[in-house]
Amino acid sequence: MDKIITLLKSIFHSPGQPQVIGSSQPIIAAPGDDVILPCHLEPAVDARGLTVEWSRPDLKPDPSDRWSWVRYVHLYRDRRDDLDMKIPSYIRRTTLFTDDMKHGNISLKVMNITSEDEGRFKCFIPNLKSTVKFSFVQLVVDPNLFTTEMPLDPRNVRTPGPGEKLSRSNCLKTRKT
Give a yes or no: residue 166 inside a domain.
no
Sequence-ordered strand ranges (E) for the chain:
19-22, 27-29, 35-37, 39-42, 52-55, 74-77, 80-81, 94-96, 108-110, 119-124, 134-141, 164-166, 172-174
Give a yes or no: residue 169 inside a domain.
no
pLDDT tens for each residue of 87-139: 999 999 999 999 999 999 999 999 999 999 999 999 999 999 998 999 999 99
Describe the strand order of the beta sheet including 134-141 as a list of residue ranges. 27-29, 134-141, 119-124, 52-55, 74-77, 80-81
Give a yes or no: residue 160 inside a domain.
no
Average pLDDT, the chain: 81
Output the domain CATH number for residue 101.
2.60.40.10
Give a yes or no: residue 64 inside a domain.
yes
Rg (CA), the chain: 22
Q: How many domains does the chain have?
A: 1
User: What pLDDT is recorded for position 71?
Assistant: 80
Q: What is the DSSP letter of 143?
A: T
Strand 108-110 and strand 80-81: the pairing is unpaired
User: What pLDDT is recorded for position 96?
Assistant: 98
Q: Is the pTM of this model over 0.75?
A: no
Give a yes or no: residue 152 inside a domain.
no
User: What pLDDT is recorded for position 161?
Assistant: 55
Distance CA 83, CA 102 (A): 22
Length of the chain, in residues: 177
More confident position, 32 or 7: 32
User: What pLDDT is recorded for position 157?
Assistant: 47
For residue 82, pLDDT over 90 is answered with: yes
Of 4-8, 91-95, 115-119, 153-157, the least confident: 4-8
Give a yes or no: residue 139 inside a domain.
yes
Can you say whether the dihedral through the CA atoms of 50, 54, 58, 62 is positive or negative? negative
User: Residue 7, Cβ neighbours under 10 Å: how many?
Assistant: 10
Give me the domain span that covers residue 131: 2-146
User: What pLDDT is recorded for position 60?
Assistant: 80
- What are residue 126's phi and psi, to 5 degrees? -65, -30
Give a yes or no: residue 121 inside a domain.
yes
Distance CA 132, CA 108 (A): 19
Give a yes or no: residue 8 inside a domain.
yes
Distance CA 158, CA 88 (A): 44
More confident position, 111 or 145: 111
